[in-house]
Structure 1
Amino acid sequence: MTQELRRSLGVFDAVVIGLGSMVGAGIFVALAPAAGAAGSGALLLLALGLAAVVAYCNAMASAALAARYPASGGTYVYGRERLGPFWGYLAGWGFVVGKTASCAAMALTVGTYVWPGHAHAVAVAAVVALTAVNYGGVQKSAWLTRAIVAVVLAVLAAVVVSSLTSSAADPARLGAGGAGGHGSGAGGVLQAAGLLFFAFAGYARIATLGEEVRDPARTIPRAVPLALGLALVVYLAVAVAVLSVLGAGDLGRATAPLADAVRAAGAQWLAPVVRVGAALAALGSLLALILGVSRTTLAMARDGHLPRTLAAVHPRFQVPHHAESAVGVVVAVVAATADVRGAIGFSSFGVLVYYAIANASAWTLSSRHRALADCGLAGCLALAFALPLSSVASGAAVLALGAAAYGVRQLRRRSPR
């Protein structure tokens, strides 16, 4: 039985998978808490720009590394090859744990919009259904993601147009004070950027699928910045539109900010459409997240950091079916018990550590990569430790637990039998 995955994704499919990962998380989940942290429209937009800059540095690091090491696992592989086994392991551990929380958050977003009174049950059903889709092959996942992204972008365009053309839109709400408050300074901007980074991290799915991309040395460096740039344009348009009718204060308190925005704009008829779009966006994000987590699990299992049975590749569908099934089970359990907003900060901390290791790995490639790698590394660390204290504490504790497990495993391997 072959242990290699089938290379079937071109530039367009890779961009769609990355964009599908980002749009669901950024617009329907992270925007409201980020607005609450920033405190004003101007500072929220500044935080969005800062998160985009850090994400761009990370994207360039990931693209350079993925072209050099086109294998499943992303920064787990890069850290192992460039910095040593421990750093690769720590990156993989941070990614798997952080993105498992992201998967649960996306599943719960689906449940909240589809059937609020039974959100956890719907979330579990969504995880089971999308795990089955991924089991059928990455090309089927790419086709489904393509359809979801098209619908979600149409819904977001309707939100932007209805908000900006309404009589309720007020450009003053985009200012430093506006209707939303007085701002919260540099600390608030950093915390908001850290929360918004959760929304940009989806481009990593392109790198973690490196073993399934055709001509990775050409495809990945083109697909990563393209997906990131498209996501930034969408985020900026939606943020400006929603802020113009709600202001940062109401946006920060909203549980369904885009639905609240179209109601404030006088387009109540559009609110149910927004709910459907939110559910589809979260489904697209969840689909791509499960793909990424399962591929990193595959890579870690190949190296013995996770049970080796998780490295099995299906002989017909050419997918890591044991890893996908295991990830689906874990995410379903977390989705049955977790809280949506609580998962965002925890996920952001783990993923920022993951990208810090990616930037450190890229720094070792050549001198031309070092300026962006320095910027990305510093940005990741600053945003990670600007997150809410509970997120930093829980994230650091889980990373320490993973590091301790690695140390124990190494001691057992070295001890005489």
Structure 2
Amino acid sequence: MVGGMIGSGIFVLPAQLAPYGWTSIVAWIVGVSGAMLIAWVLARLTAAMPEATGVVAMCGAGLGPLCGVLVGWSYWIGIWSANAVIALTAVRYLAQFVPMIGATALAQAVSATVLIWLLTVLNLGGARLAGAFQVGTTVIKLVPLGAIVLILAGIAWRGGVGHSAGPYADFALGGLTPALTFAFYAIVGFEAASVAAERVRDPARNVVRAMLFGLALTGVLYLIVCTGIIFALPSAAVANAQAPFALFVSTFWGPWAGLATAGFAAIAAIGALNGWTLVQGEVPLGMARAGLLPRWIGATSTRDVPVAILLVSSTLASLLVLSNATRSLGGLLDFMLRLTAAATIWLYVGACLTALILRIAPVAAALGLAFAAWAMWGAGIEAICLSVGLMLTAIPLYLLRYRAALSEDAPD
């Protein structure tokens, strides 16, 4: 659970949150608190519907099959758009070794696209090959976080003597909403235990533990690491950094340590991309096998790889990256972070609405729904509209499955 949440988003978020200064701390606290509310709702839903295969099935049971498909489809959109963000993160840290791949937004976009397809080819070889690669990168992502914590502990031990940075932006209520959306993006993934509830032993108890414990631990770690970087360095330097973790470590431990951190962060991001590339076919595959989408979406190779949906997912992630290559370096990542947050939040909206309709944890569901709407608004109109447009593409596919079913049942 914690491993799924500790991904690559934290490696770039200090740069996105640095302009918000003290507001970013409040955003983390509010974001984790809101996520805890939603996690509690998901846990109660899982306990109330132990026969459900996951949160998508729960939404289908409470809101109807079409709404369940829309929620699941939007979650899938969130996964492949997150892959675009992860690929860009990896490229930004790899650029510390090969500067030309990160020199411009176009160079970053092309390099990220190449990386997406390298990992797609790896996953087409089957889960065993991709899994072997994943094992080697899982622990590595903790190394940069550990380095940051050690440096911050040293600064705190000295009482800040010999260290000064700033100034920092004061708390501003107007900046809380966008900062909240960025912070919330980093902790997306806490729903993993309920998305695959059928594979969890005693989900009524273990899903609650996994989500709440994972959220609390990850939230505290991210609050310390992200705000530590922002407040230990000049905010302008952090905001303009392509690789803020490497900048931070090199400032205190020297350039070689910074390069080592960049290497670990790049490997961690590539590992996260590999894992989510494997996962991005699972949600549509599950809906196709449940008869909610056309059967061809669930077609698999001899190695049980959903080839068609895997290729479609990586193509869409590539198009997302390349279509935004005309933006600035900061704008390229900024928009995709917001789109990923908007697309994923629809899952939480669906879960809270389901809980309200079924009268399961209604108070937490109402508060969670309000929080989800708030975080969604922070993504901005452009990202929200695009997430809705992409989500609605599931409707014709949902209707096509009726046509296919009628054709199969028709007499020869």
The normalised TM-score by structure 2 is: 0.80
Aligned to 1:34: 17
Check whether the contact 1:168–1:265 (CA below 8 A) recurs between aligned residues.
Answer: no
Check whether the contact 1:168–1:245 (CA below 8 A) recurs between aligned residues.
Answer: no
Distance 1:168 1:297, change over 3 A: farther
Q: How many residues align?
A: 389
SS of aligned partner of 1:289:
helix
SS of aligned partner of 2:168:
coil
Aligned to 1:377: 369
List aligned pairs for 1:306-385, cutoff 5 A: 306-312=293-299, 320-338=306-324, 339-367=332-360, 369-385=361-377
Match of 2:340, as an amino acid? S
Structure 1 Cα separation of the partners of residues 293 and 402 of structure 2: 16
Aligned to 2:149: 160
Aligned to 2:60: 80
1:73-110 per-residue CA deviation (whole Å, 9 max, x = no partner) reads x4332211111123212212221222221111111221
Distance 1:260 1:58, change over 3 A: same
1:104-133 per-residue CA deviation (whole Å, 9 max, x = no partner) reads 111122122224533445434433444455
Structure 1 stretches lacking a partner, 5+ long: 1-13
Structure 2 Cα separation of the partners of residues 239 and 65 of structure 1: 32
Match of 2:380 among 388, 395, 401: 388
Structure 1 Cα separation of the partners of residues 194 and 270 of structure 2: 20
Match of 2:256, as an amino acid? W
- Alpha-carbon offset, residue 271 of structure 1: 1.1
SS of aligned partner of 2:190:
helix
Check whether the contact 1:205–1:291 (CA below 8 A) recurs between aligned residues.
Answer: no
Match of 1:62, as an amino acid? L
Q: Does 1:127 align with 2:116?
A: yes
Aligned to 1:95: 75
Distance 1:44 1:216, change over 3 A: same
SS of aligned partner of 2:367:
helix
Aligned to 1:3: none
1:23-66 per-residue CA deviation (whole Å, 9 max, x = no partner) reads 311x1133322333xx22x3211101111112222222333444
Structure 2 stretches lacking a partner, 5+ long: 102-107, 325-331
SS of aligned partner of 1:203:
coil
Check whether the contact 2:92–2:243 (CA below 8 A) recurs between aligned residues.
Answer: no
Aligned to 1:182: 170
Distance 1:213 1:280, change over 3 A: farther
- Alpha-carbon offset, residue 219 of structure 1: 4.2
Q: Does 1:47 align with 2:27?
A: yes
SS of aligned partner of 2:284:
helix
Structure 2 Cα separation of the partners of residues 128 and 215 of structure 1: 38
Match of 1:298 among 263, 278, 285: 285
- Alpha-carbon offset, residue 142 of structure 1: 6.0
Check whether the contact 1:59–1:225 (CA below 8 A) recurs between aligned residues.
Answer: yes
The normalised TM-score by structure 1 is: 0.79
- Alpha-carbon offset, residue 220 of structure 1: 3.2
Distance 1:293 1:57, change over 3 A: farther
- Alpha-carbon offset, residue 379 of structure 1: 0.2
Check whether the contact 1:210–1:216 (CA below 8 A) recurs between aligned residues.
Answer: yes
Aligned to 2:215: 228
Structure 2 Cα separation of the partners of residues 136 and 223 of structure 1: 31
Q: CA RMSD in A?
A: 3.7
Match of 1:24, as an amino acid? S
Check whether the contact 2:295–2:401 (CA below 8 A) recurs between aligned residues.
Answer: no
Structure 1 Cα separation of the partners of residues 136 and 208 of structure 2: 24
SS of aligned partner of 1:23:
coil
Distance 1:15 1:234, change over 3 A: closer
Structure 2 Cα separation of the partners of residues 319 and 87 of structure 1: 27
Aligned to 1:110: 90
Structure 2 Cα separation of the partners of residues 55 and 402 of structure 1: 28
Match of 2:217, as an amino acid? L
Aligned identity (percent) is: 25
Check whether the contact 1:173–1:180 (CA below 8 A) recurs between aligned residues.
Answer: no
1:308-365 per-residue CA deviation (whole Å, 9 max, x = no partner) reads 12223566x5554543344344434544554332211111111112211112223345
Runs of 4+ in 1 over 6 A off after TM superposition: 170-174, 410-415
